[in-house]
Amino acid sequence: MREALVAAAFELFLERGFEQTTIDDIVSLAGVGRRSFFRYFPAKEDVVFPDHERGLAEMTEFLESGTGEEDPVKHASDAARLVLRMYAEQPSFSVQRYRLTRKVPGLRAYELSVVWRYEHTLAHYLRGRFADRPDGALRADVIAAAVVSAHNHALRTWLRSGGESDWVAEVDAAMAFVTGTWSDRQAEAGPDGGAGADDVVVLVASRRAPLWRMVQGIESALGDAHRV
């Protein structure tokens, strides 16, 4: 019944336009009554986003499944991957919805409210993980926003390709950027996973140079993350 309502709604949206389609039109095409529609969807806008409640539930469950030992930034990034995977499960539907929301300002506003719920869910998880840090709340909110922005960049790239591009590669690159920027463990491990094992620094200095100047040169070469 739920899927029949969604299919009927999108057939009419594409044929007539969102604003010109009524709930009565949708239930008539689906062959059900108005009561059946409202059993599944509180409003017409909700039929455009039938999968987001499931997406939010899966994200929350995934975040709560952590042991507390994992990298919180990576765990949040992996949670966002679930949402893009949800879109990729139905590429034609996702692309149609993307094109529809671009045309209807009200749907775009509704979509932004859904995005805020994802961000709020991620921020809540991260606040718990960073609770012992003085900047924990700020860090959590900023990282949550970064994860959502990176996810949306990957998603839009995939949708604009008509669902033809490699969504896995898109989201991998986006989330790698987030973890590389914000993860403490990423900074400690270095880009290749080792504690700077592949870094080779050759310092050329006068034999008469004081030790402090040599140390300063090494620090300058390695960056602030490797202060001696």
Percent of the chain with pLDDT over 70: 81
Cα–Cα distance measured from residue 11 to residue 146, given in angstroms and rounded to the nearest whole number: 35
Q: Among the residues of the chain, which ranges form H helices?
A: 2-16, 23-30, 34-40, 52-64, 72-89, 91-103, 105-129, 136-160, 167-182, 184-189, 211-222
Mean pLDDT of 153-175: 94
pLDDT at residue 29 tops 90: yes
**32-36, 69-73, 124-128: the lowest-pLDDT one:** 32-36
**Residues 187, 190, 194, 198: is their CA dihedral positive or negative?**
negative
Mean pLDDT of 88-102: 91
**81-85, 127-131, 199-203: the lowest-pLDDT one:** 199-203
Cβ atoms of 183 and 71 within 8 Å: the answer is yes
| pLDDT class of 202 with cuts at 50, 70, 90 | low
Mean pLDDT of 120-133: 96
Percent of the chain with pLDDT over 90: 54
